[in-house]
């Protein structure tokens, strides 16, 4: 081991997590953070360019990761799996941090609001996009921030993921060139306490991983409160514990348009899966691989802020600890990816069939009572599929965990389809039923009743008319001083 950060670290200890704690910790009405005028957050990234040129330039070069591939066009099954939910319209693979504002504006899921009070999404959709978010929470309080439609903050959240998301930029330490890592989002501080990793008391290793846990985590919007973001970690961070939490509080993200199952949308539990993998358990953090220390031309060592694929900086990442060649390790990771993808697709196929079979059962007159167990099994199976699919880099961070999660999902999908087969026979439906052709995204959108052209036209209009107004207003307020978020 070439690096000295491993010895003093503790993996998340599930036995320490208070299993009765969800009532105690998930904030109730009136328990959200109030405005905090003492917390000064400078969200304008360009202001740090002059004093910290190496960190700034490497941070800005996240703009080199430009590919925005559509995941659902590559795999139209997802359009069926998310039937009745905005993800069925548009879902891209992630790209560089520099594009977070651009992409949340452009994604069809945020629709085409015409003013501050229209559009399909709530304020919470800005929450992992940049340092204007902790700034607004400090100014408006959590309730003030989370209440209202997404378009409310169009002229406020304009700086992409940056310095003040991870650093206490107003501190003396930061002025002295030290990291001064900080978490400024109250819901993240609460979640870290729930897993017995309170940020202030954590060592440097844990704090380094925690800054990524601002955003690379599973979360939900608490509709019983102010639609605020909550991480469902009160029973643990593994797939079973979070499912149990959601079942107990009776939460669903949406009802599926075909099967009527009460669905969960897993977000991106990257931090959670990493913590259960070999590297997480050994105290090798996101920073060791995604933000290595490097030497500048002037000989000074600094943190490379171009967060991207660690293989691109192999000598300062993997090679610090491993003797194998780049090619060998790359091949190992590629093999894990292939194996996981293969079983993941099998689970998707099972789930697609189950949604259509459930629809056929409803159409044949099945009752809520008959369908209950099958729908719960669909919910659990898809939660497990999505936990693995949305864990970006899961094949690298915890390949064994991914395989186990998918296997348990296949098991629950089998439960669902066994129940459905019995219900369909009881209602004298000929089996196998007719499954529609969803072999392309265009076909799948048609089957699911989505008019994609209409969505795209409305979005184009929004980008042409509303977005320039947002930029203009943000400039007038001094929030945008140099570059506007790119249009594409």
Which segments are annotated as binding site for substrate?
A: 219, 268
- Exposure letters 129-166 (e unless 16+ CB within 10 A, then b): bbbbbbbbbbbbbbbbbbbebbbbbbbbbbbbbbbbbb
Q: Does 211 bind ligand HEC (CB under 6 A)?
A: yes
CB 69 within 8 A of CB 93: yes
- Which residues between 70 and 99 bind ligand HEC (CB under 6 A)? 93-97, 99
Q: Does 278 bind ligand HEC (CB under 6 A)?
A: yes
Contacts with ligand HEC, 380-419, as mask; x by CB under 6 A: ------------xx--xx-x--------------------
> CB-wise, 177 or 449, nearer to ligand HEC?
177
CB count within 10 Å of CB 217 equals 21
Provide CB contacts within 8 A for 6, sequence distance 6+. 205, 282, 283, 284
> CB-wise, 181 or 374, nearer to ligand HEC?
181
Token digits of residue 21: 């704690």
Cα dihedral sign, 117-121-127-130: negative
- Which residues between 337 and 366 bind ligand HEC (CB under 6 A)? 337
The CA-based dihedral angle spanning residues 31, 35, 36, 40, taken in that order and rounded to the nearest 10 degrees: 130
Q: Does 291 bind ligand HEC (CB under 6 A)?
A: yes
Unique residue bearing structure tokens 């600094």? 302
Q: Judged by CB under 6 A, which of 33, 41, 44, 55 binds ligand HEC?
A: 55
> CB-wise, 70 or 440, nearer to ligand HEC?
70
Q: Does 136 bind ligand HEC (CB under 6 A)?
A: no
Q: Judged by CB under 6 A, which of 128, 155, 351, 450 binds ligand HEC?
A: 128
Q: Which of 55, 83, 5 is nearest to 448 (CA)?
A: 83
Nearest residue to ligand HEC by CB is 393
In the annotated binding site for Ca(2+), the residues are 218-219, 265, 267
> CB-wise, 102 or 259, nearer to ligand HEC?
102
- Which residues between 170 and 199 bind ligand HEC (CB under 6 A)? 177-179
> CB-wise, 228 or 350, nearer to ligand HEC?
228
Q: Does 259 bind ligand HEC (CB under 6 A)?
A: no
CB 222 within 8 A of CB 228: yes
CA atoms of 47 and 63, how far apart (whole Å):
18
């Amino acid at each position: 081991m070439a690096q000295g950060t491993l010895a003093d670290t503790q993996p998340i200890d599930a036995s320490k997590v208070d299993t009765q704690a969800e009532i105690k910790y998930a904030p109730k009405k009136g328990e959200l953070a109030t405005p905090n005028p003492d917390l000064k957050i400078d969200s304008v990234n360009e202001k740090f360019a002059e004093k910290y040129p190496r960190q700034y330039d490497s941070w800005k070069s996240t703009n080199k990761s430009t590919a925005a591939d559509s995941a659902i066009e590559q795999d139209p099954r997802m359009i069926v799996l998310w039937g009745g939910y905005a993800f069925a319209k548009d879902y891209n693979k992630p790209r560089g941090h520099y594009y977070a504002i651009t992409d949340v504006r452009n994604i069809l899921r945020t629709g085409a609001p015409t003013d501050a009070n229209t559009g399909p999404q709530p304020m919470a959709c800005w929450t992992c996009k940049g340092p204007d978010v902790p700034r607004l929470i400090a100014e408006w309080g959590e309730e003030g921030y989370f209440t209202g439609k997404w378009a409310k903050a169009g002229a406020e959240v304009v700086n992409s993921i940056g310095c003040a998301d991870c650093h206490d930029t107003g501190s003396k330490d930061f002025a002295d060139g030290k990291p001064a890592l900080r978490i400024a989002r109250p819901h993240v501080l609460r979640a870290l306490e729930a897993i017995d990793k309170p940020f202030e008391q954590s060592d440097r290793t844990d704090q380094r991983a925690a800054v990524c846990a601002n955003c690379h985590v599973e979360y939900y919007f608490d509709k019983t409160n102010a639609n605020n973001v909550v991480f469902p970690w009160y029973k643990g961070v593994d797939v079973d514990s979070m499912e149990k939490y959601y079942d107990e509080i009776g939460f669903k993200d949406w009802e599926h348009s075909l099967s009527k199952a009460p669905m969960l949308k897993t977000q991106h539990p990257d931090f959670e899966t990493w913590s259960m993998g070999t590297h997480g358990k050994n105290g090798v953090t996101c920073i060791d691989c995604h933000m290595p220390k490097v030497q500048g031309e002037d000989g000074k060592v600094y943190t490379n802020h171009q967060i991207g694929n660690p293989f691109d900086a192999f000598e300062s990442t993997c090679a610090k600890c491993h003797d194998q060649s780049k090619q060998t390790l790359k091949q190992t990771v590629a093999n894990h990816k292939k194996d996981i993808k293969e079983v993941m697709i099998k689970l998707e196929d099972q789930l697609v069939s189950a949604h259509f079979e459930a629809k056929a059962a409803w159409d044949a007159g099945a009752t809520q009572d008959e369908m209950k167990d099958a729908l719960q099994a669909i919910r659990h199976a898809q939660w497990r599929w999505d936990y693995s699919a949305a864990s970006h880099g899961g094949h690298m961070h915890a390949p064994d965990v991914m395989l186990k999660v998918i296997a348990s999902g296949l098991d629950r999908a089998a439960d669902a389809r066994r129940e459905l087969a019995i219900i369909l026979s009881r209602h004298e439906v000929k089996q196998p039923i007719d499954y529609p052709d969803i072999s392309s995204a265009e076909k799948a959108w048609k089957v699911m009743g989505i008019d994609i052209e209409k969505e795209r036209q409305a979005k184009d209009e929004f980008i042409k008319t509303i977005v320039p107004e947002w930029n203009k207003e943000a400039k007038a307020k001094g929030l945008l001083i140099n570059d506007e978020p790119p249009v594409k």
